[in-house]
Amino acid sequence: LRRKTGNALFLKEYNRRRILSFVREHKSISGIMLSKLSGLAPKSVYEICDGLIQDGYLYEASIGSSGGGRKPVMLSLRPDYYYSIGIDIDVGMVRAVLMDITSTVKFELNERVDGINYEVYLGLMVKLIKTLYKRNKTDASKLLGVGLSVPGLIDIDSKKLIMAPNLKWENKDLINDLKQHLSCNIFVENEAMSSAFCEKWLGECKNDKDFICINIKSGIGAGIYTCGKPYRGARGSAGEIGHIPLSENGPLCGCKNRGCLETLASTNALLTNAKSAFEKEITLDGLIALAQGKNKAAEEIFNNAAQYLGLAISFLVNTYNPSKIILGKDFTKYAKFELDVIIDKVNGTALKHNASAVRIQPSSFGERASVLGAAILPQIQIF
Amino acid sequence: LRRKTGNALFLKEYNRRRILSFVREHKSISGIMLSKLSGLAPKSVYEICDGLIQDGYLYEASIGSSGGGRKPVMLSLRPDYYYSIGIDIDVGMVRAVLMDITSTVKFELNERVDGINYEVYLGLMVKLIKTLYKRNKTDASKLLGVGLSVPGLIDIDSKKLIMAPNLKWENKDLINDLKQHLSCNIFVENEAMSSAFCEKWLGECKNDKDFICINIKSGIGAGIYTCGKPYRGARGSAGEIGHIPLSENGPLCGCKNRGCLETLASTNALLTNAKSAFEKEITLDGLIALAQGKNKAAEEIFNNAAQYLGLAISFLVNTYNPSKIILGKDFTKYAKFELDVIIDKVNGTALKHNASAVRIQPSSFGERASVLGAAILPQIQIF
């Protein structure tokens, strides 16, 4: 009997999630349509929807059109009830958003940080989360949770941060450390995978099953979907493309090897190369301005980085055969100096069949993809 | 009503397959144990098993041990009823096996072919299939189908062969062409993916969710599993690792690029390098004998190839984070001259976290992995 009750509960929960997902996809949908899509009897759909309305997930929205007879009631996700908070930890910056379950960002905060001290970042995260929470004026029971996007390796079982090389953090239990200050569900994810969630949930990859998001900033990492699902590998560290070795005698990398992609094509690599070309420190904005003004040396710096990116992407195109590759973060600021070079390199290097199957494009979310993805993490649990 | 009947049929079929899979996994298992594993009521399990016995899939085997009371009847897959045939198409060779549903190979035939003429291969396949079929002395209704393993790119929708570079075949509809001569189900799969099926179904990777089989012979290709499932990519051409570009000024490849992995580390590459080192044609067996006799030039040829393989495998280890990499086909003949070099290269080049998560080893099936995988293709349909 216990087993049967377990199965029934499981099935009920499964169908609730499916209905909720259909409403999310369609934004506004009738019960009849939900019955058609789900294969459930109209009676069951109405029961589930009543429950979802009572629990604050759905509301009866505008009246839909009908082919005669009674006009159907349309159901939509309720924007003023459940919500989540997303935090993106970056070197020198913490971003935070509060997002309702219709994926609308209601509040957004970015704050600069000096240095890489873990306690300082922790304090700032708590402050930003509490600020957003107060600003929303809704009680704690509506907060589905906080999602964290971290530029590092997360252990697949313990969810602890194994290392974040560019922050020089090692073995940090972010979830536990935040729980000392907050009493809500906390989820943690690698920042490239957070971006992939954002592109799948809100962006260009809604209909792609096999795609790769590459985040290019101080380091380079990839978030990968295979067969419609996030792919993490056996120990949670798939997508470490920043450490693909491309040049045997290249610059020394933080991972102790030479010539990793990161040392050749990250934003840090651009700035290092700019410093040696112009014999002075140059900011990214400065370098972009120079390339904009057709400065040959600046153009060459972007071109070189793009060649290496194109080569690394050719490996991914040959081995993953993705339908899209999205280039995000800092890259979106200088895409116009690199994108065509990358695409040409891939077309010239990858297998024709695979090269012709992939679209390579910058993220439409600028630097925000991973903070939006972080906010999605707690919401995935209800859909 | 129609929908409900559809659901019930679907559920019944689903549970039949689960029971059959549990029996396959355990080889011999009681109804009570099946009930525990499946979560189904004993009555349902007995009903399903009765059906499976009547249909020829199962039989009541030896009596199991019991903790007192009635001794349970043990169920096993029936070896003398359903079977499949697997064909592996290789350059210069066609392999064929007849396998019963307990995965036992009952008959096996290998036949050499001169040249690469498509019609000649087709004729030979038909001959081998008919020979095996007759030898088995069981009627056609027990043949689950024929599986083909092909060294080329299969279109993910049409299942046509797009190209098999080393056979110089293009746009061949193998299934349709064979159906002119045979009236059974025919399945087709890339040969590296066939090997991956074999390793998952029968070999070292039964418990691995994320692993890669690399077939090294005239060309190099990979069959990949992600999240416990075969991964084919958006257009069916994931795993084309033979065309990873590793040396800008390397030998010209069939794909028209230079320095692809295939041109540096395939068996063909070994023989080309041997010819230029020894200034005469050398067979693979000859080269192996030389390395066995500690001939420096021969050892160096294997060492160089292994360095490139190690580099390519480092890319895969960083980006896929697999728990196993199985090296198969010709490689199994000369593994002892390359394996340690490959492992050292990966440990020195890939990210530590990823390198420590992977086991790299030769296939235990020698050159037979893909023909066994081909025979498994029709069997997957019933489990």
Backbone angles phi, psi at B172, to 5 degrees: -110, 130
pLDDT band of residue A66 (cuts 50, 70, 90) is low
**Do B301 and B274 form a contact (C-beta atoms < 8 A)?**
yes
Hey, are the CB atoms on B319 and A222 less than 8 Å from each other?
yes
Residues of A in contact with B7 (CB under 8 A): 39
Å between B66 CA and nearest CA of chain A: 24
Distance, CA of A347 to chain centre: 27
Q: How many residues are there in chain A?
A: 383
> What is the DSSP pairing of strand B359-362 with strand B324-329?
parallel
Inter-chain residue contact A351 with B233, CB threshold 8 Å: no
Q: Is B318 part of the contact surface with chain A (CB cutoff 8 Å)?
A: yes
Contacts of B45 (CB under 8 A, 6+ apart): B19, B31, B34, B35, B38
Residue A352 contacts B, CB cutoff 8 Å = yes
**Would strands A153-154 and A161-164 be described as parallel, antiparallel, or unpaired?**
antiparallel
Pairing type for strands A229-231 and B169-172 reads unpaired
Verify whether the Cβ–Cβ distance A354 to B240 is below 8 Å: yes
Report yes or no: A186 and A146 within 8 Å, Cβ to Cβ. yes
Contact B353 A322 (CB under 8 A): no
| Tens-digit pLDDT profile for residues B298-328 | 999 999 999 999 999 999 999 999 999 999 9
Contact B92, B113 (CB under 8 A): yes
Strands A29-30 and A143-150: unpaired
Residues in chain A with CB shorter than 8 Å from the CB of B349 are 245, 257
Nearest to A200 by CA among A211, A216, A188, A214: A211
Unique residue bearing structure tokens 């440990």: B347
- Dist. CA B94–CA B99, nearest whole Å: 16
- Two structure tokens written together for A379: 């919401």
pLDDT in tens, chain B (383 residues): 445 555 677 788 899 999 999 999 999 999 999 999 999 999 999 999 999 999 999 999 766 565 666 667 899 999 999 999 999 999 899 999 999 999 999 999 999 999 999 999 999 999 999 999 999 988 888 999 999 999 999 998 899 999 998 899 999 999 999 999 999 999 999 999 999 999 999 999 999 999 999 999 999 999 999 999 999 999 999 999 999 999 988 999 988 889 999 999 999 999 999 999 999 999 999 999 999 999 999 999 999 999 999 999 999 999 999 999 999 999 999 999 999 999 999 999 999 999 999 999 999 999 999 999 999 999 999 98
pTM, to two decimals: 0.91
Best probe of the A interface among B9, B171, B319, by most A CBs < 10 A, is: B319
Is the CB of B353 less than 8 angstroms away from the CB of A229? no
B316 contact residues in A (CB cutoff 8 A): 319
Q: What's the 3-state SS for chain A?
A: CHHHHHHHHHHHHHHHHHHHHHHHHHCCEEHHHHHHHHCCCHHHHHHHHHHHHHCCCEEEEEECCCCCCCCCEEEEECCCCCEEEEEEEECCEEEEEEEECCCCEEEEEEEECCCCCHHHHHHHHHHHHHHHHHHHCCCHHHEEEEEEEECCEECCCCCCEEEEHHHCEEEECHHHHHHCCCCCCEEEEEHHHHHHHHHHHCCCCCCCCCEEEEEECCCEEEEEEECCEEECCCCCCCCCHHHCECCCCCCECCCCCECEHHHHHCHHHHHHHHHHHHCCCCCHHHHHHHHHCCCHHHHHHHHHHHHHHHHHHHHHHHHHCCCEEEEEECHHHHHHHHHHHHHHHHHHHCCHHHHCCCEEEECCCHHHHHHHHHHHHHHHCCC
Length of chain B as a residue count: 383
CA nearest neighbour of B317 among B210, B235, B234: B210
CA of B240 to nearest chain A CA: how many angstroms apart?
Answer: 5
A351 reaches B (C-beta below 8 A)? yes
Residue carrying structure tokens 């009738």: A30
Q: What is the ipTM of this complex?
A: 0.90
CA distance A321 to chain B (A): 5
Who's near B251: CB < 8 A, 6+ residues apart?
A: B258, B259, B263, B264, B269, B272
CA nearest to B346 within chain A: A245
Tell me how many degrees the CA angle A154-A159-A165 measures, rounded to the nearest 5: 25
Q: Minimal Cα distance from B237: which residue of A?
A: A321
Q: Which two tokens stand for residue B208?
A: 């691995």
- Window 177-236 of A: residues touching B by CB (8 A cutoff) are 208-210, 222, 224, 226-227, 229, 231-236
8 Å CB contact of B237 and A208? no
Nearest by CB to residue B354, choosing from A226, A240, A311, is A240
Range 156-175 of A in CB contact (< 8 A) with B: 162
Give yes or no for a contact between A35 and A45, defined as CB atoms under 8 angstroms apart: yes
Residue B256, helix vs strand vs coil? coil
Q: To probe the interface with B, which of A321, A324, A347 has the most B CB atoms within 10 Å?
A: A321
Chain A CB contacts of B323 below 8 Å: 234-235
- Residue A89 tokens, joined: 């930890």
Q: What is the pLDDT of residues A100-134, one digit of tens each?
A: 999 999 999 999 999 999 999 999 999 999 999 99
